[in-house]
Structure formats: C-alpha cells, structure tokens
Structure 1
Amino acid sequence: MQVPMSYAAHTGRILALGLPLIGGHLAQFAIGMTDTVMLGWYGVAPLAAQTLAASYFFVFFMLGAGFALAVMPLVAAKAAAGDEIGLRRATRMGLWLSLGYALAAMPAMWWSEPILRALGQAPQVAADAAVYLRIAGWGLIPALLVMVLKSYLAGLERTKVVLWITLLAALTNGLANYALIFGHWGAPELGLAGAAIASLASQAVSLLAVVIYAARALPHHALFHRLWRGDAGMLARVFRLGVPIGLTMLSEVSLFTASAFMMGWLGTVPLAAHGIVITVASGSFMVHLGLSNVATIRAGAAFGLGQALELARGARAVILLSLLAALLTIAAFLTVPETIVSAFLAEDDPARPEIIATGVSLLAIAALFQLVDGAQVIALGLLRGVQDTAVPMIVAVLAYWAVGIPASYILGFVFGLGGQGIWLGLVFGLACAGVFLMLRFWRRAVHSVAQAA
C-alpha cells in the first residue's frame, strides 16, 4: 500500500509545477499588457480600440481553447498509466480540432467592424478595432495550436519549457511593439496596426519554438509523425471534453467582454480606464490560472490512478495557495491604486486625471472579486482533472450569463452606477461561480473517485 503524500509534499510539488506555469501565464499576459501600455502612451483612442478588439478576440480564443485544455487531463491520466500511444492520440486530435475551429472563426475576425457596430460600439472605435483584428486575428491559428502543445507538455509535467517559450514570445512582442507602434529602429510608425503585427509575430514564434522542442525532446512520442492520421474515438473524446470546457471559458470571457461593451457605451475614457484595470486584474488572475493548470495535472494523475485521498489533499493545498495569492493582490489593489493605474498613461495625456479617477474606483471593486475569481478557476481546474466538464459548464453559464451580465447592466444603467455598477455585476457573477463549482468538486468529484477506487 502506497503511503499518502503529506500536505507539505503536495505543496512542494504544486509549486515546482506551478511556478513555471504561473510565469508562463504572466509572460503571456505581458504580451497583452505591452500592447495596452504602449498604445496608452501612443494615445487614448488606439488604447480604447485595442481594448475592444482584444475582448472580441478572446471570446473566440477561449471558446477554441477548450480543445487544448481537454488535452491536459487526458495526457496527465495517460502518462500516469504509462500509455504513450493514448497521450499522443489525444494531443493529435486536439491539434486537429483546434486548427479546424480557428479556420472557421477567421471570417469573424475579418468582418469584425459591422459586428462591433451592431453591438452598439461607436463607429470610429469599431473601425479602429477592425484594423487591429484583420491582422492580429490570424494569430488565432498559431495561438490555439501552441496552447494544445503547451497542454501536452504540461500534462507530462514539463512546465519549465512552457515558461521559456512564452518568455521568448513576450520578448518578440515587446521588441516588435516598440519598433512598429512608434516607428523606432527604422521601422514605419504603424500605431495600432503595428501592435497587431507584433502580436501575430509573437504567436508565430511561439508555435515554431514549441514544435521544435516537442519534436527534439520527445522523439519517442512521434507526435508529428503521420499527423494526418485520424483517430475517430479519441477525436470524439477530446471533442466531448473540450466543447464544455470551451463554453465554460466562453461564458466567463463573455462576462468580461460584455462589461467592455457596456463600458464602451459610457464613452472612450471609461473604456480606456476599464482596459487598464482589466489588464491589471488579468495579471493577478494569471497566478490563479497557473495553479488551476497544476490542479488539472495533479487531479488528472490522481484520477487516472483512482487515488481519492491524494486528490483531496492536493486540492486543499492548491486552494490554500490560491487564497494566499488573492490576499496579497487585494492588499496591492487597495494600497497603491493610483500608482498602478498611472503607469499605463502618458504624463501629458489630457484625459489622464479622469482616467486615473475612474480606474482607481474600478480597481477597488476588482479587489472584491479576487477571492471568488481564484476559487472559481481553481474549482474548474480540479473538475477538469477528474474529467467532469458538462455540469460545470451549466453552472458557469448560469453564474455568468444569468447573474453576472444582467447584474452589470442593471447596476450600471438601471440604477445609474455607471462603470462601478458594471464591475459590481462582475463580482456577483464570479461569486456565484466560485461557490457552486467548489461545492460540485467536494460533494461529487472526490466522492465518486473514492467510490471507484
């Protein structure tokens, strides 16, 4: 009989796997933040357009990312059982599904302007956002393929390379942004279009790097050998797991996208402030997302081996780490909000005082949802690890669409609270998701694994 791991051992293992993943997510976040900071220096109008375009892009990205995230628990479970053929098939079918989805989504990127205008956005902001999306939208293809391969590597607990590849992409994006937005180093000054080209370049570099690593470091998996050969059974399994994951992520992202659209109805300055604060909040969220990925990997391995006690102990350890990270973030948001918001704005921007005032009030509300935002993403990671995705999807859709979005609209416009009301609606939606998803994991998932053991 195997001796159970102590909580200290679980915590050490989580940190060993999680710190590179957190770093990788922060590096990925830095790509978007670099766009926000540099475009904020370039002008408020390009910043507002990029905020809207990024929200639009991520709706499609997160829906398609479900197939990549379905690969992670499958690879973790297959690796724990020593099934190299199964993990290869799962990864290949994830690549197939992600590529097909990305190609199907491209028309929505190309013709984004009329869609954004139909959603109530100002004509000029919609037109500028479309300039960005017609270039950066092509990055959906390499971005989703990269995510599949990163899930494959993370499922094998090769998380350090995920960090290095993402850092390479962030460096590429930063240098290209600096050159192409402002016209440095002899490059043309392209402004918003330059930021889009930089984002596309970073995704392409990521794909090239991860393919080279997977092929050279893991040749025995023969991942790209006869890549065209299908596996109907595994394709269906990845699809069944991936669609609910994608819809779950879509429901969450759409909550924040809807908030961006609502802020756009209030004007360019509120939308710009929203873009800054959502970027900052997203940065703190990357810590929880990295821990959520570890939760999926560790829960997937425990699930594959039928180890209910290890599943429960690992879950408690990762929840505690997420809680500690949330408390540190809350302290930062409440003590130095002006310093955080002002870092995104040029000193001579005439709208700077108004944006800072709005941003500080939004950042205070963002502090409210740090605990529940961490709870919901950790719960989702644990549930994906035990391959429970359908019911969590329903919970998420109801929490975000039936509670969060209506609450944002009612508080923001019916009660006249403006941007603060819109953000309070986010708190309600995230809180509902966090509570009910945690209940789902502890009442159903752990119990079912114990019964099957």
Structure 2
Amino acid sequence: MDKTTTAAPSAAALAAGRRAGWLRELRETFTLAWPLVIAQVAQNALITTDVIMMGWLGPKQLAAGTLASTFIMPFLVGAVGLISAIAPLVAQARGARNIRAVRRIVRQGFWATIILSALLIPLILQVKPIFLFLGQNPETTMLAEQYIQIGVAMFIPGLAVVVLRSMLSAFNTTRIILVLTLAAVVVNAIGDYLLMFGVFGLPRLELRGAAIATVVTNLFMFVVFLAYVLNHKRFRRFHILWNFWKPDWHHLAQIFRIGTPIGMTVLAEVGLFTAAALLMGLIGTNEIAAHAIAMQSASMAFMVPLGLGVACTVRVGYAYGRGDDEGVRKAGWTALGLSTAFMTVSCITFILGAPLIVTIFLDPDRAANTDALRLGASYLVVAGLFQLVDGAQVVAAHALRGLSDTKVPMLVAIVSYWFIGLPIAYVMGFTFNLQGVGIWLGLAAGLAFAAIVLVIRFAMRERLGLLRRTL
C-alpha cells in the first residue's frame, strides 16, 4: 500500500512534467514563429500587391504578369530553397556552440548567392523564345518579357536578404524580419502605384513599373538587413563580411550539399504550379487570370504553415545540434499541430467565402471580368480542400531539414508532384474535360501524397537513423 501511495505522485509528477515540456515547446515555437508567420504573409503581400494592381490594369496585363511571375518563380524559389540551408546549419552550429562556424556559413551564403545569380539570370532572360515554343499568346508573351527584363535584377539582393534572414531566424531574432518586411510591403505598394499608373507626373510604365518597384524593394530590404546585422551588438561580433573574398570550401560545399535538395524540393512543387499555369494558358486568358486569383489566395494562406515550418527547422535544428532527441520530437509535432489548426480554418474560409474573395482581385461590376470571377471561385473551392495536406507537407519537410535530411524529401517531392500531381492534372483537365477544376484537383492529389509520406518519415526518424549527429 505504501508503494502504491508513493508511486501515484511519481506518475502524476511525470505526467505534469511531460505536459509542461509540451507547453514550453508550444510557447517557444509560437514566440519564434509568429513574427516569421506575419513576415511570410507580408512577403507574399509583396506579390499580392503586384497581382491586385495588375488586375486593375486589366485581364490581359494580369495574365501577362502572372505568366512572367510564374516563369521567374521556379528559378527564384529553387535558389531561395538552396540558400535557406543556412538556417538549419546556423541553428545546428549554435546548438553545438560552434560559434566560429556561424560567420563562415553566412559568408559562404553570400558566395552561393552570387554563384546562383550568375547561373540563373541568363536563363531567365530567354523567356520569349521559351514561351513562344510552348504555344503562349504572342501579345501576352511580349508583355511578360517586358516585366522579366527588369524584374530579374532583383535576384542578387533578394537572395542576399534570405541569407541574412536565415541567420537572424537561427538566433530567434525575428521581430526585425517582421518589421522590415512590413516596411517593404509599403515601399512596394507605393512604387507599384506611382510607376504602374504614372501618377504625379511620372511615366505610366504598367508591368515595367511593377518590375522596377520589385527591384527597388529588394535592394531596400538588403541594405537595412545588412546594416542591422553589422551594427547590432549581438551580431556584429561575427564580422560576417570579414575576409569576404576568402573561400571556405567546406562550408560552401555544405550549403550546396544540404541546400540543393531543398531547392529541388521547392522547385518540384513550384514547378508543378508553373506547369499548371501553362496548362491554363492552353485553355484561355480568363483561366489564367482565375488561376492567378486562386493561386495568390492559396499562397497567402500557405505563408502561415511556411512561417511555422521555418520556426520548426530552427527549433528542430537547435535540439538536434545539442543532442536533444526529445526536443526534436516536441518541436516537430508542435509545429505540425499548429499548422493543422490554422489550415482547418483557411479550408473552411476558402470553401464558404470563395465568391467574395475573388472580388478583391477583379472588379465584379465589369462585364469583362464575369468569367474570370466565376472560374476563380471554383478553383478556390478546390484550393480549400487541399489546405490541410499543403500545411502538413511543408511543415514536415522543414522538420526534416532541421535534421539535415533533404535528399529523400526531394525524391518524395519529385514523385508526388511530377509523377502523380501533374499527370492527374492533365488527365482530369483535358481527358475528362474538367478543364481548370481538373488541373486544380491534380495539384491537390500531388500535395496529399507528399504530406502523407513526409509526415510518416518524420514519425520514423529514429528508426531511419535520422538522429545520428554529423557535427
């Protein structure tokens, strides 16, 4: 009887300790994630602002701007994915108290930015022959080329921003990311309005004006982030620009080794949506405009699990670096739980509010917009259906990145999106003649398969040997 009396408080104490551990992780994840979430939403608002103002120019300009952005996006997000390897690498170095490695990783991140920009910019400038080869409308192609010829200049400052943002995130310094990204939204919106529509005596540059505003906004963010890191007392001790031209082949190779599969993973997903936009282009201009509306709405909701994913990478990477397997478990599942809760809300919102949401992008009083609005609402309902799996796949992938597990998730993404999602999109859209709705159903199928496999892989991380340390 004494044993029973003694054992009961011990069991209760253990249960209370476990609850406290989960609550502590929830608090830590939320504190780290909420500025990143809002910053991701604000980052997406930069693109949303462009899309909305392109819609004010008209469906033709919206279609051209969408095709231009869709063409740039795989190159950009692939490069951003590669550069984002800096976040888990710095977090792991911080967890292992390997402070000297932080400077070297960040410095080589800038090197990677220069290398990637030099490789990708010449390819992006070949947009016109590529679009014409793919059967896109010549007038739409010409307008898209006007945007890309200027907008491609944002690559170097844009990727350099990712380097600095990754470093700050790894040190839980996220509020400056939030504040500066919100400021960038304002800078971009003002630039768009002034240059696209030619107010206050400025020339009306339309899509060229949107591209100039994008470049200026990225330069603004880079300069302010760099000044912050070089002058803040917590970060200036790293001297990230010291011996800038001195190579550190080990860390540069590490960034490419860990980051290339991340970039390919992101590229596989974004490439699927790019292919979907091109398929929409084969149907008609209204379908492209409607696709842009649904995509931008879904992308805005996606920024929340993406911000949670970045926080998850840092939390998992930090726990992994300090050898805390239980911390890895709590960090991963906490982020997945938070993502699922939010995406449930966005799912309901999209399904019930689709007809209202699409009117944000196109004037419902203009007869020319009727078909695009109707199609956009139908696509948005399908987007609502895949919200849960979209959130789960991105957070699970980020949790695995915190363990430097990137190669298998890359293969999962390629199979999910290109061997499952895209074929289903084509068959449903053209063979079964569901057109745009069928294409969106294919997107949903690819995301669902990826989510299932990646969540299972994180759940089996110990059995698969993913917790073995390499630092």
Matches within 5 A, 1:182-221: 182-217=197-232, 218-221=235-238
Of 430, 440, 443, the residue aligned with 1:413 is 430
Shift, 1:431, TM fit: 0.5
Match of 1:278?
295
2:457 to 440, 443, 453: 440
Distance 1:70 1:235, change over 3 A: same
1:378 aligns with 2:395: yes
Superposed displacement of residue 426, structure 1: 0.2
Instruction: Report 1:277-296 matches (<5 A).
Output: 277-296=294-313
Task: Name which of structure 1's ranges 110-119 and 369-378 shifts more when overlaid on structure 2.
Answer: 110-119
C-alpha separation in 2, matches of 1:30 and 1:139? 17
Q: Which amino acid aligns with 1:33?
A: T
Tell me whether 1:87 sits opposite 2:102 in the alignment. yes
Is residue 312 of structure 1 aligned with residue 329 of structure 2?
Answer: yes
Structure number with greater Rg is 2
In the alignment, does 2:241 pair up with 1:247? no
Alignment match of 2:285 (pick from 265, 268, 279): 268
| Distance in structure 1 (CA, Å) of the matches to 2:222 and 2:369 | 38
Shift, 1:249, TM fit: 0.6
Matched, 1:48 2:63: yes
Which of 178, 196, 215 in structure 2 is aligned with 1:163? 178
Worse-matched range after superposition: 280-289 or 207-216: 207-216
In structure 2, the residue matched to 1:357 is 374
3-state SS in 2 of match to 1:351 = helix
1:110 CA displacement: 2.1
2:86 corresponds to: 71
Aligned AA for 2:241? F
Residue 309 and residue 285 in structure 1: after superposition, are their counterparts in 2 closer, same or farther (change >3 A)? same
What's the CA shift for 1:88? 1.1
Of 5, 12, 18, the match for 2:33:
18
The separation in 2 between residues aligned to 1:247 and 1:129, in whole angstroms, is 25
- Tell me if 1:132 matches 2:132: no
The 1:375–1:61 alpha-carbon spacing in structure 2 relative to 1, beyond 3 Å, is: same
**Counterpart Cα distance in 2 of 1:83 and 1:344:** 48
Distance across 1 between alignment mates of 2:107 and 2:148: 28
Deviation per residue, 1:132-153 (Å, 9 max, x gap): 0001111112111111111111
| In the alignment, structure 1 residue 322 sits paired with structure 2 residue 328 | no
**Alpha-carbon deviation of 1:446?**
7.4
Structure 2 counterpart of 1:132, one-letter code = Y
Structure 1 residues 347 and 357 mapped into 2: Cα distance closer, same or farther (>3 Å)?
Answer: closer
Q: How far did 1:4 drift?
A: 9.4
Change (3 A) 1:132 1:445: farther
Report how far residue 349 of structure 1 moved: 3.1
2-side partners of 1:380 and 1:99: how far apart?
Answer: 26
Identity of aligned residues (%): 37
Shift of 1:440: 1.1
Deviation at 1:450, TM superposition (A): 5.9
Aligned match of 2:164: 149
User: What is residue 337 of structure 1 aligned with on the other side?
Assistant: 354
Output the amino acid matched with 1:378. Answer: V
**Could you tell me whether the CA contact under 8 Å between 1:252 and 1:400 is conserved in 2?**
yes
Deviation of the 1:90 alpha carbon: 1.0
Give per-residue Cα distances to partners, 1:142-195, cap 9 Å, x unaligned. Answer: 111111111111111111111112112111100000111111122211111111
Count of paired positions = 452
**Which residue number corresponds to residue 9 of structure 1?**
24
Q: Does 1:428 align with 2:445?
A: yes
Which amino acid counterpart does residue 174 of structure 2 have in structure 1? T
TM-score scaled by structure 2? 0.93
Give, in whole Å, the separation in 1 of the partners of 2:86 and 2:468.
Answer: 25
Inter-CA distance 214–452: structure 2 relative to 1 (3 Å threshold): closer
Structure 2: stretches of 5+ with no match in the other structure: 1-16
**Residue in 2 that maps onto 1:112:** 127
2:315 matched residue in structure 1: 298
Whichever residue aligns with residue 7 of structure 1, its letter is W
Distance 1:128 1:99, change over 3 A: same
* 8 Å Cα contact 1:69/1:242 also seen in 2: yes
The equivalences for 1:167-186 within 5 A come to: 167-186=182-201
Matched, 1:61 2:79: no
CA distance 1:55–1:354, shift in 2 (3 Å): same
- The separation in 1 between residues aligned to 2:364 and 2:390, in whole angstroms, is 33
Letter in 2 for 1:147: V
Contact 1:345-1:352 at 8 Å conserved across structures = yes
Distance 1:445 1:230, change over 3 A: farther
Contact 2:364-2:370 at 8 Å conserved across structures: no
Structure-2 separation of matches of 1:381 and 1:5? 24
- Which residue matches 1:346? 363
How many Å apart are 1:33 and its aligned residue? 0.3
Q: Is the 8 A contact 1:21 1:162 kept in 2?
A: yes
TM-score normalized by structure 1?
A: 0.97
Question: Residue 137 of structure 2 corresponds to which residue in structure 1?
Answer: 122
Partner residue of 1:399?
416
Q: Secondary structure at the match of 1:165?
A: helix
CA contact (8 A) 2:320 2:467 kept: no
